[in-house]
Amino acid sequence: MSVLVLVLAVGAACCLGFGFVLQQNAAQRAPLGDFLSPRLLLDLVRVPRWLAGMGLMVAGMALGAVALGGGELTLVEPLLATALLFALALSRAQTGRPLGRQGWGGLVLLAGGVTAFIVAGEPRGGSAVTDPVRHWLLIGVMLGLAVLLTACAGRARLTWGPTLLALAAGLVYGVQDALTRISGRRFSAGGPAELLTGWQPYAVVVLGVTGLILVQSAFETAPLRRSLPALTAAQPLAGIACGVGFLGDRLRTGPAALAWEAGGLVAVVAGIVLLGLHPAMPQGSGESGHDRALERR
């Protein structure tokens, strides 16, 4: 494992975690009429705190892209999941709440799970799958599930909606990471000409904007604890599936290795849930989306 890739991925997680907190601080005050609308971004772009969070998010995505250029998706994605640790650190600084057993337990599970998965799986590169059917099948399943979750979220926007939207955004971002990896390979092989003649970089932009709308809509309707854990859990799982499915990433497949890899992923998800539900995570302004909806009637 390259130390540079490790530093870049953790740096990306730090920027993303801080950025998510600042974005949610601003998005929670946005009009509910902007739910799942590009107009939401036009409203938020006038809020300095949101712009600061967006700047950190862009920086995190850039660092993540560079990390993906030098490391496998199955290595970088689990490291990006540590964004929740940095989000909790900023939230704890804002609220002054101690970590307690729940916080420390979540931290150990998340960090230990990432370590177990990487050490047991020993992610390494291989030959990308050339069969387009497998590419489109996996991408179609991920994005189709994201569409289904978004549709369900629209019907339950003030209850389970934020969690469903965050899951959808995580799937979208996982696919985006896979296409970013492919775009990096095309650039390395033939420079800008090779990159711009493929559809992948344009899909990366479209998926990025789509994921941003989903995330901000989740942030505006509920506290961070109801969306960020789902987002943080779904993205690495989707990315790992794409990495193994068609990017040629390889993991050890012995019985013991597979058991540790599965256990590591389970620990990562459990740690994310514990940290996401920690009392230090932002609770919102004290006014729920339902309350704001009633005020507008």
75 touches 239 (CB < 8 A)? no
Q: 172 in helix, strand or coil?
A: helix
Percentages helix, strand, coil for the chain, rounded to the nearest 5?
A: 80, 0, 20
Radius of gyration of the CA atoms of the chain, in A: 19
pLDDT in tens, 92-135: 887 777 778 888 888 899 889 999 999 899 888 777 777 788 88
Residue type, 10: V
Q: What is the pLDDT of residue 282?
A: 64
**CA neighbours closer than 13 Å in the CB half-sphere of residue 190:** 9
Predicted confidence at residue 190, as pLDDT, reads: 87
Whether pLDDT at 29 is above 80: no
Confidence of residue 283 (pLDDT cuts 50, 70, 90): low
pLDDT reading at 254 higher than 50 = yes
Is residue 212 predicted with pLDDT exceeding 70?
yes
The structure's pTM equals: 0.84
> Ramachandran region of residue 91, left (φ > 0), alpha (ψ -120 to 50) or beta?
alpha
Mean pLDDT for the chain? 85
Distances (CA, A) of 54 to 16, 36, 134: 9, 18, 34
The length of the chain, given as a count of residues:
297
User: In the structure, what pLDDT confidence band is assigned to residue 148 with cuts at 50, 70 and 90?
Assistant: very high
Distances (CA, A) of 207 to 15, 88, 153: 20, 26, 18
Angle at 102 between CA 98 and CA 105, to 5 degrees: 115
Residue pLDDT, tens place only, 220-239: 887 777 888 889 889 999 99
- pLDDT band for 158, please (50, 70, 90 cuts): low
Return all residues near 283 (Cβ < 8 A) that are at least 6 apart: 223, 225
* Token pair recorded at residue 127: 């030959």
Of residues 58 and 100, the one with the higher pLDDT is 58
Given a cut of 60, whether residue 1 has pLDDT beyond it is no
Residue 164 near residue 156 (C-beta atoms within 8 A):
yes
